[in-house]
Amino acid sequence: MDFELTIIIPVYNEEDNLLRVQQELSGFMLHAKKKAKVLFVNDGSKDTSQKIIEEICSNTDAFEFISFDKNYGLSAAIKAGFDTANTSWVGYIDADLQTDPMDFNILLEYADSYELVTGVRANRKDSFVKNLSSKIANGIRRAFTHDGMDDTGCPLKIIRTDVAKKIPMFNGLHRFLPAMVLLQNGRIRQVPVKHFPRIAGVSKFHLWNRLIGPLQDCFAYLWMKKKYLNYTINRKG
């Protein structure tokens, strides 16, 4: 099959969500504006996630997986997905499905004009503390990166794969994908998308890694920006 979009789904102890993921993503693929497939990245789950993933993938070529030997974190899972993807576009959504896979079609409307299109969660259904800490963290990051993005933590994005593969990775970089695309002189856009409460599983983030972690990562980003190599070949002979 000539797939055009690989949707990365990082998985860490999401056994209660995976069958719903299969159902929702299968529904999206029937109506996707680009022919899509799913790539599960099992980030060292300790529950039955791997068994369920293998059962899902055994039934259709549109679902694939890679599995880590241990837990490396969200940034590593996304990076592994980028490195594995062989389609022209790569997307990303969380296994908790607090965002709607059908909204990938909203992002894809802008694919011809931008290298990265990210969702902005409208009317977020998270707790007051989670929303407040996310707002503060986004403000800190935006002050460092000047990327103009309001919600880089939104787990619904599409990126041109050749651009995604050039992004150098470090822990926490998933918050800086728009800024890293800008370093490649790429074009970025944010678009409002739906948001839902988590109905199964447990959030992997807390106050510490929503505030202190991103602040530390901002300094790592500034160092990387200073050292980042970006060039254009003008002529060849």
This prediction has a pTM of 0.81
Predicted confidence pLDDT, tens digits, the chain (237 residues): 699 999 999 999 999 999 999 999 999 999 999 999 999 999 999 999 999 999 999 989 999 999 999 999 999 999 999 999 999 999 999 999 999 999 999 999 999 999 999 999 876 655 555 655 566 666 666 666 667 777 777 889 999 999 999 988 778 777 889 888 998 999 999 999 998 766 665 555 555 555 566 667 777 777 777 777 676 777 787
The DSSP secondary structure of the chain, one letter per residue, reads ----EEEEEEESS-TTTHHHHHHHHHHHHHH-SS-EEEEEEE-S-SSSHHHHHHHHHTT-TTEEEEE-SS---HHHHHHHHHHH--SSEEEEE-TT--S-GGGHHHHHTTTTT-SEEEEEESS--S-HHHHHHHHHHHHHHHHHH----S-TT-SEEEEEHHHHTT----TTGGGGHHHHHHHTT--EEEEEE------SS--S--HHHHHHHHHHHHHHHHHHHHH----------
Domains defined for the chain, CATH in brackets: 5-227 (3.90.550.10)
